[in-house]
Structure 1
Amino acid sequence: MKNQSVSSNLDWISVFIYIILVVLGWLNIYSSSLSSTVEDASLFDFSQTYGKQMMFIFFTIPLIFIVLAVDGKFYEKYSSIIFGVALLLLVGLFFFGKTIAGQRCWYAIGGFTLQPSEFAKAATALALAKYLSDVQVNLKDVNKQIQALLIIFLPVILILPQPDPGSALIYTIFIIVLYREGLPAWYIWSGFIAIFLFVLTLVIEPQYVILISFIVIALIYLKSRKINRNIIASGIILVLISGFVFSVDYVFDNVFKQHHRDRFNILLGKEVDLKGIGYNTNQSEIAIGSGGWLGKGFLEGTQTKGGFVPEQHTDYIFTTVGEEWGFLGSFAVIALFVGLILRVIYLSERQKTKFSRVYGYCVAGVLFIHFFVNVSMVLGIFPTIGVPLPFFSYGGSGLWGFTILLFIFLKMDANKVNEW
C-alpha cells in the first residue's frame, strides 16, 4: 500500500462543510444565549453558554489531530475493545451517573458533564463494520442477523432505562446499513408497518385497524399468483398484527412516560396545550414562521431574544436559524447537511474494503437521522424526544461525538485504507 500524507489525501470538501456547520452552529448558540444576557458581553465569557461552546470547539481541534494521527487500521483492529469500553461507560451511568432533568445520562467531571451515548455511536458503528466485514458473515443467515442486531441493540438496552429514548432511537438507523449489506427487506418493511399501525391505533379504534389490515391482506392474497398464495401464512400475519394492535394501548399507557404520551397526543391533535407540553413546539413554529424569506437578521430575532423557546440553544437551535436567517438561510443550512451526508455516501461507495465502506454508511446514517428528526421535531411533524442537531446544538459531548464519528471515516479514506 502506498503511504501518502493524511493532509494530501484528506477529503477537504467534507472538512470545509464541517467547519462551516460548526461556525454557523456557534453563531446561532451565541444569538440564542443573548436572550438572557447583556448584548455587550465578552465573546470569551466562559460562564455563558456561547463561551462554553467556544471552549468545546477549541478542544475539538486537538481531538481531530489525534483521530487523524492514529493509523486507520487501528480502528478496525481494536473496534471490539472500543465497543466494549463504550458499553461499560453506559453501564457505569447506573452507578456513577449524574441525573439532569430526570435523565441519568451524564458523568460529572468537575464543572462539566460528558454523555457517553454520544461517543457510543462511533463505537457501535466500528463494531458493526468489523462484524459485517468478516468474510464468513452472511446476513441471509438467521444466526448472523441476530448477532448483527445484538450489536445494535446492546447500547439501546442500556440507554432506554436512563431514560433517553431520543438517543436510543438514533441507533435504529444502523438497521438500514444492515439492509444495504444484505439483510432481508422484510425487516425494514415490518418496522415501517409496525410504526404505521402503532400511530394509526392511537388515532382510531383497534378493531377498525384490524379490519383495514384484514382487507389489505385479503387483497394482496387475491392479487397474488396462485402458486404464491399461502392462506396459512396470511392468517399468521393477521394474527400477529391483531396482537400487536391490541397491545398498543397497554404500551402507550404503561410503558411510555406521561410526557411522551402528551407529546404524541399533541402531535396527533388529540390535545391542544399551547401553554404546557406543546409550548416549545408552538413557539418554535411561531419563531420559524416569523422569519419569512430573508429572516429578521442576526441577533434581531424577537422570539429568540425574548427567550420564548426554552432550551433554544440545544434541541431547538434550528428555530434561531429560521427566525433570524429566514427560509433562504434555513435552506442553506439544510443544503449543507444534505451535502455532507451525500459526500460521505459518495466516499463510502468508493471504498474497497468492506469495513471502511460499512463504517461510512453508518456515519451517513447517524448524521441523517439526527438532522431529519431534529428539524422535523422543531417543525412540529415529529414528537419532541431530545435529539440534537449535529454541530449546531450546544454541548461538548455531542460536538466531540459527531467529530470523532466523522473524522475516523475521513482518516480511513485519507490513509487509503481502501487500497489493497
Structure 2
Amino acid sequence: MSNLKTIYKKTDPWLLFCYIALVIIGWVNIYASIHADTAASIFDIGNRAGKQFLWIMVSIAAGAVVLAINSRIYEVVAFWAYLGTALLLFVTIFLGKDINGSHSWLSIGPVSFQPAELSKITTSMMLASMMSQFGFRINTPRNLARTVAIILIPMLLIIAEKETGSALVYLGFVFMLYREGLSGWIIVLAGLFITLFIITLTISPFVSLLSLACIIGLAYGAFAGKTLKTALAVLPCTALLAFLPALTRSGMFQEMQLPAPEYILLGLSSIGIGFAAYRIFRKRDDLAAIMAGTFIAGAILIFSVDFIFNEVLQEHQRKRIEVLLGMEEDPTGIGYNVTQSMIAIGSGGFSGKGFLKGTQTAYGFVPEQSTDFIFCTVGEEWGFLGSTAVIALYVLLICRIISRAEKSTDSFTRIYGYCIACCFFMHFFINIGMTIGIMPVIGIPLPFLSYGGSSLLCFTLMLSVFISLDARYKR
C-alpha cells in the first residue's frame, strides 16, 4: 500500500487526467450508441454500457495492482511474459472462437478475450528488455534481426488468426526503433515499398517496376555525385520503356506472344543488376550493393502483391481496400459503414446535436457504433468541438508518454514508453481514419473509448506499467 501511495504522488497528473477523461467519454458514448434499443440505466449490466462500467472497475483495480507491484519485476519477467503470450496466440489459432470473421478470441466460461491485445504489452516489454541491455546497437545486423524477429513472431501469429488489422499496429514500432538509432533510410524504404504495393494494386506491376528502376537509378546517381549525368541517362530510358506495354500489343510483336511487359522489363533490368554485380565484386562498391538489394527486394514485393492481396487478406478486407483506393464503388455494401459514419460526423456540425439526440446513432444506421465506430457517435452528438477535444486528449496522452519517456534515466522505461506511445498512436490514427474514410476498415478499437472488456483492460495495464516505471525513475 505504501508503494501505491508513493507512486501516486510521483505520477504525472496529465496521464491520469487523459485516462480518466477518455474512459468516461467512452462509457457515456457507448450508452448513447445503444440507448435507443433499451430504456435501461447506464449502470444496468444487461446492456453494453453497464457491462463496460464493470470492465472499467475491473481495469482500474487491475491497474492499481500493477502500480502496487515493484516495477523491477517487469524487466525480469519480460521474456517469459512474451513467450507466454506467443504460446497463447499459437493456441488461439486452433482453439479460437470466430467473432465477426476473426478467429482471435479465446473463451473462458462467459468471458471472451483477445490474446492479441495482451501481446502488445508483452512485445513492448520484450523489446525494452532486449534493447536496454548494455552495448546494444540497433544498426548491427544481428541486433536488427533479433529485434525484427520479436516484432514479426506475434504479427504472423495474429495474421494466422485472421486478425490482420491488429497485426498492422506492430508496424508502429518502427518509430521507436528510429528513436533508438535505426537509420531513417529504412523508414524511407518502408514508405517506398508501401507505395509500390499500392501502385501495383491500382495500376499495374509494370508501372510499379518501371518506377522502382527509375528511382533506384536516380538515387544511385545522386549518392555517387553524378546527378545530372544519371538523370540524362535514366529519364529518357524510362520514357522509352513506358511505351513497352503498347509495343507488345501491336503488330508483329502481338503475334510473337511475348511475355507480359513487366517480365520483359525485369529481363532488361538484369543488365543493371549485372553492372551492379561488377561494381560490387571488382570495385567493392557498397552503394551499388545497397541499390541492387533494394531493387531485388522491391521486385520480389511487386510480384508478390497478387498473392498477398488474394491469399493473405480476407475477402472483406480486400473489398474495403478496393473501396478505399477507389478501385470499386460500393456505398451500400462494404462501404456502407464508412458512408454512414461520415454522414453522422458531418451532421454533428460545430457543436453537435446534443447528448442522446443523434439521429444516425439513435436509428442504428452505423453498424458496430459502440465498438470500432464509436468516434462517429462523438462527432454526431458533440460535433466539431467534442471531436477536437477527444483528439486533443489522445495527442496530449501520447505526447506526455513520450515526454516522460525522454526524461527517464532508465533505458527500459524510455523504450517501453515509446513502444506504447506507438501502439496508442496506431490505434488512434487508424480508427479515426476509418471513421472519416481515409483508412481501410480493419476493425481495431479506439483506446479507452470503444466497447470491449479485453481491450480496455489491456490498454489500462499497458499505461499502468509505464506509470509505475516512470514513477520509479522520476527525476
Q: Could you tell me the TM-score, scaled by structure 2's length?
A: 0.83
* Cα offset, 1:214, TM superposition: 2.6
Alignment of 1:112-191 (within 5 A): 112-191=111-190
Q: Distance in 2 between matches of 1:16 and 1:221?
A: 51
Residues 346-370 of structure 1: CA deviation (Å, up to 9, x unaligned): 0000001111110111111111111
* Cα offset, 1:230, TM superposition: 4.9
CA contact (8 A) 1:105 1:164 kept: yes
1:65 is the counterpart of 2:122: no
Q: Distance in 2 between matches of 1:151 and 1:65?
A: 29
Q: Distance in 1 between matches of 2:89 and 2:295?
A: 38
1:255 is the counterpart of 2:256: no
1:284 is the counterpart of 2:341: yes
* Cα offset, 1:231, TM superposition: 5.2
- Shift in CA distance, 300/263, structure 1 to aligned 2, threshold 3 Å: same
**Structure 2 counterpart of 1:203:** 202
Q: Distance in 2 between matches of 1:382 and 1:271?
A: 15
**Structure 1 counterpart of 2:322:** 265
**Structure 2 counterpart of 1:31:** 32
CA contact (8 A) 1:315 1:389 kept: yes
Q: Distance in 1 between matches of 2:290 and 2:422?
A: 33
Residue type of the alignment partner of 1:237: T
Q: Distance in 2 between matches of 1:17 and 1:301?
A: 25
Deviates more, 1:298-307 or 1:53-62: 53-62
- Shift in CA distance, 133/303, structure 1 to aligned 2, threshold 3 Å: same
Alignment of 1:81-120 (within 5 A): 81-120=80-119
Q: What SS is found at the alignment partner of 2:221?
A: helix
CA contact (8 A) 2:164 2:313 kept: no
| Bigger RCO (CA 8 Å, 6+ sep) | 1
CA contact (8 A) 2:337 2:367 kept: yes
CA contact (8 A) 1:274 1:282 kept: yes
1:298 is the counterpart of 2:355: yes
CA contact (8 A) 1:99 1:105 kept: yes
**Structure 2 counterpart of 1:242:** 299
- Shift in CA distance, 17/235, structure 1 to aligned 2, threshold 3 Å: closer
CA contact (8 A) 1:5 1:415 kept: no
Residue type of the alignment partner of 2:418: Y
Deviates more, 1:75-84 or 1:240-249: 240-249
1:221 is the counterpart of 2:224: no
Q: What SS is found at the alignment partner of 2:403?
A: helix
Q: What SS is found at the alignment partner of 2:328?
A: coil
- Shift in CA distance, 218/95, structure 1 to aligned 2, threshold 3 Å: closer
Q: What SS is found at the alignment partner of 1:297?
A: coil
Q: Distance in 2 between matches of 1:48 and 1:321?
A: 19
Residues 116-155 of structure 1: CA deviation (Å, up to 9, x unaligned): 1111111111111000011132212101111111111111
* Cα offset, 1:271, TM superposition: 1.0
**Structure 1 counterpart of 2:19:** 18
CA contact (8 A) 1:86 1:119 kept: yes
Q: Distance in 1 between matches of 2:170 and 2:286?
A: 36
**Structure 1 counterpart of 2:376:** 319
Q: What SS is found at the alignment partner of 1:47?
A: coil
Residues 286-340 of structure 1: CA deviation (Å, up to 9, x unaligned): 1111111111111111000010000100000000011111111101100000001
Q: What SS is found at the alignment partner of 1:144?
A: helix
Q: What SS is found at the alignment partner of 2:334?
A: coil
**Structure 1 counterpart of 2:392:** 335
Residue type of the alignment partner of 1:209: S
1:412 is the counterpart of 2:469: yes
Q: Distance in 2 between matches of 1:183 and 1:384?
A: 30
* Cα offset, 1:183, TM superposition: 2.1
CA contact (8 A) 2:59 2:461 kept: no
**Structure 2 counterpart of 1:42:** 41
* Cα offset, 1:224, TM superposition: 3.4
CA contact (8 A) 1:221 1:229 kept: no
Alignment of 1:374-389 (within 5 A): 374-389=431-446
- Shift in CA distance, 55/243, structure 1 to aligned 2, threshold 3 Å: same
- Shift in CA distance, 73/199, structure 1 to aligned 2, threshold 3 Å: same
Residue type of the alignment partner of 1:350: K
Q: What SS is found at the alignment partner of 1:5?
A: helix
Could you say what the CA RMSD is over the residues aligned between the two structures, in angstroms?
Answer: 1.8
Aligned residues with identical type, % of pairs: 43
* Cα offset, 1:246, TM superposition: 2.7
- Shift in CA distance, 359/240, structure 1 to aligned 2, threshold 3 Å: closer
Q: Distance in 1 between matches of 2:294 and 2:202?
A: 22
Which residue, 349, 355, 365 being the options, matches 2:422? Answer: 365
Q: Distance in 1 between matches of 2:129 and 2:291?
A: 38
Q: Distance in 1 between matches of 2:196 and 2:52?
A: 41
- Shift in CA distance, 84/215, structure 1 to aligned 2, threshold 3 Å: closer
Structure 1: which 5+ runs fail to align? none
Q: What SS is found at the alignment partner of 1:106?
A: strand
Q: Distance in 2 between matches of 1:209 and 1:171?
A: 26
Q: Distance in 1 between matches of 2:155 and 2:290?
A: 31
Deviates more, 1:176-185 or 1:219-228: 219-228
Residues 239-268 of structure 1: CA deviation (Å, up to 9, x unaligned): 443332232223222322211111111001
Whose Rg is larger?
2
